[in-house]
């Protein structure tokens, strides 16, 4: 990315990068966020990932937030935030582009390496669960229906207490 840290401001459940040049750089270089009216709207997981990498500073009520403060705010919006972040961070660190998938009913859509949103389709609908959570067949079937309906392979990530993720890729098998 760049040397200077980009400034983001919490607005509701998003982080907004208002500086047009910075907003474009984040999207063009890494497909982070989405551009709306020359601003970049980052999800909380994207923002924390960029904070952790040293590219972004996030402010709330004119106060610069540290990692822990940001996580606390994010968890107030989504109790599953930390589990989702661990999955997001792990997949991003492997070179994949990851986008939120709220409208599909999944945690994220994951694009294969070399594929950018708008240029090709995502390959996986990803769901992340804590190893502490119970996971029944109804929930699994619902995840499968979401992935199949969106024409994606299902990727389930089980996140342990250390934030490590074990993946299971599931796809329909036609006899």
Domain boundaries, the chain: 6-77, 81-170
Active site residue 121: yes
From 63, 121, 123, 168, the catalytic residue: 121
Instruction: Kindly report, residue by residue over 39-85, the tens digit of the pLDDT.
Output: 999 999 999 999 999 999 999 999 999 999 999 999 999 999 999 99
Active site residue 152: yes
User: Model pTM?
Assistant: 0.91
From 152, 153, 167, 168, the catalytic residue: 152
Other Cβ atoms less than 10 A from the Cβ of 48: the count is 24
Determine the pLDDT at residue 2.
52
Q: Which residue has the tokens 């309906």?
A: 149
Instruction: Kindly report, residue by residue over 2-23, the tens digit of the pLDDT.
Output: 567 999 999 999 999 999 999 9
The CATH-assigned architecture of domain 6-77 is 3-Layer(aba) Sandwich (3.40)
Provide, for the chain, the percentages of residues in helix, strand and coil under a 3-state DSSP scheme, each rounded to the nearest 5. Answer: 35, 30, 35
Which of 103, 95, 91 lies closest to 128, judged by CA?
Answer: 91
Active site residue 111: yes
Is domain 81-170 given the CATH code 2.60.120.200 in the classification? no
């Amino acid at each position: 990315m760049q040397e200077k840290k980009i400034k983001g401001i919490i607005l509701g459940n998003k982080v907004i990068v208002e500086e047009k040049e910075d907003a474009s750089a984040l999207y063009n270089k890494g497909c982070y966020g989405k551009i709306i009216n020359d601003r970049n709207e980052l999800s909380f997981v994207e923002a924390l990932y960029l904070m952790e990498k040293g590219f972004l500073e996030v402010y709330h009520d004119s106060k610069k937030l540290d990692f822990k403060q940001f996580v606390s705010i994010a968890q107030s919006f989504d109790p599953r935030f930390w589990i989702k972040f661990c999955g997001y961070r792990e997949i991003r660190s492997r070179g994949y582009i990851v986008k939120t998938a709220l409208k599909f009913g999944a945690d994220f859509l994951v694009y294969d390496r070399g594929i950018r949103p708008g240029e090709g389709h995502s390959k996986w609908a990803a769901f992340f669960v804590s190893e502490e959570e119970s996971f029944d067949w109804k929930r699994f079937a619902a995840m499968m229906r979401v992935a199949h309906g969106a024409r994606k392979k299902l990727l389930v990530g089980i996140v342990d207490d250390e934030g490590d993720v074990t993946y299971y890729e599931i796809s329909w098998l036609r006899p």
